[in-house]
Amino acid sequence: MALVTKMSDIERETIKIGKQQINHFSHRHPLEAAEVHDGDDKLGACAGCEHEIVGPAYVCTKGTCSFVLHDLCSDLPRHHRHRCHPGHPLSLLPSPPYSDCEFTCDACGESGHGFTYHCATCKFDLHVECAALPETVKRSDHHHDFVLMTNLDGGDLVCCGCDDDRVAKGGWMYCCLDCKLGLHLACAETC
Ligand SMILES: [Zn+2]
Ligand SMILES: [Zn+2]
Ligand SMILES: [Zn+2]
Ligand SMILES: [Zn+2]
Ligand SMILES: [Zn+2]
Ligand SMILES: [Zn+2]
């Protein structure tokens, strides 16, 4: 197959697994299943979540194109209803729908340039990984679950992960409602 020959011409470290090709809504060229190894610097970061890729992925079949997606990021649902944005369904967009090609994630407050779960009515955006945050987390030093919620009143909750009470109003955090304890998204990851 011509496409396969082209891939090997540019000596990617990427090892193709079979000939499994997909057409993904986010990209104009067909993508091919591959295993990406460390040091494969011809490839960009994942176009979905913007993180580096090591492991199973879909790479563009065009040798001149550095487009690549994590296996998991290639298979995200196109529509998502989130408990923290109950009014409208969110649509998965291949890039931010704004003129500066950037969005600000309404969960973590960081910017994003890859895929976004977007509500056009509210101009609401989520990183794909923030959209996939678990609804509850546990801490080994606390006997209640912490529940994911929107910080509506601008934060009189102190984070029990770092003792800093600043959570942007409207941003997301985990809370133990029984004890009125907060936990930053980032602090929940490390416990
Ligand atoms: Zn990804
Ligand atoms: Zn491409
Ligand atoms: Zn985010
Ligand atoms: Zn909305
Ligand atoms: Zn914290
Ligand atoms: Zn508690």
Q: CATH code at 174? A: 3.30.60
Q: Are 69 and 100 in the same domain?
A: no
CB-neighbour burial class of residue 16 (10 A; exposed 0-12, middle 13-18, buried 19+): middle
Q: Are 19 and 67 in the same domain?
A: yes
Q: Are 119 and 173 in the same domain?
A: no
User: Which ligand lies nearest the alpha carbon of 27?
Assistant: 2
Within 8 A by CB and 6+ apart from 36, the residues are 13, 14, 43, 53, 54, 55, 56, 57, 59, 68
**Confidence at residue 156, expressed as pLDDT on a 0 to 100 scale:** 66
| Separation of CA 60 and ligand 3 centre (Å) | 26
Q: Are 69 and 7 in the same domain?
A: yes
Averaged pLDDT, 11-32? 77
Q: Are 65 and 19 in the same domain?
A: yes
| Separation of CA 166 and ligand 5 centre (Å) | 8
| Separation of CA 81 and ligand 4 centre (Å) | 10
**Confidence at residue 10, expressed as pLDDT on a 0 to 100 scale:** 36
Question: Of the given ranges (74-83, 134-143, 159-168, 170-179), which has the lowest mean pLDDT?
Answer: 159-168
| Single-letter code of the amino acid located at 160 | C
**Confidence at residue 1, expressed as pLDDT on a 0 to 100 scale:** 39
Higher pLDDT, 73 or 37: 73
Q: Are 85 and 67 in the same domain?
A: no
User: Which ligand lies nearest the alpha carbon of 177?
Assistant: 6
User: Which ligand lies nearest the alpha carbon of 46?
Assistant: 1
pLDDT in tens, 90-146: 999 999 999 999 999 999 999 999 999 999 999 999 999 999 999 999 988 899 999
Within 8 A by CB and 6+ apart from 147, the residues are 135, 136, 174, 175, 176, 177
| Separation of CA 74 and ligand 2 centre (Å) | 14
- In 29-64, which positions are buried (b, 16+ CB within 10 angstroms) versus exposed (e)? eebbbbbbeeebeebeebbbbbeebeeebbbbbbbe
Give me the number of domains the chain comprises.
Answer: 3
Note whether 185 and 133 are within 8 A (CB).
yes
The rounded distance, in Å, linking the Cα atoms of 34 and 45 is: 14
Structure token digits, residue 82: 């989130």
Q: Are 62 and 94 in the same domain?
A: no
Among 100, 131, 162, residue at a domain's last position: 131
User: Which ligand lies nearest the alpha carbon of 189?
Assistant: 5
Among 131, 155, 170, residue at a domain's last position: 131
| Separation of CA 27 and ligand 3 centre (Å) | 22
Q: Are 127 and 149 in the same domain?
A: no
The H or E element containing residue 82 is strand 79-82
Domain residues for 101?
Answer: 76-131
| Separation of CA 11 and ligand 3 centre (Å) | 35
Q: Are 14 and 40 in the same domain?
A: yes
Question: Of the given ranges (5-9, 47-51, 156-160), which has the lowest mean pLDDT?
Answer: 5-9
Q: Are 153 and 125 in the same domain?
A: no
For residue 12, pLDDT beyond 70:
no
Q: Are 147 and 183 in the same domain?
A: yes
Among 74, 91, 117, residue at a domain's last position: 74
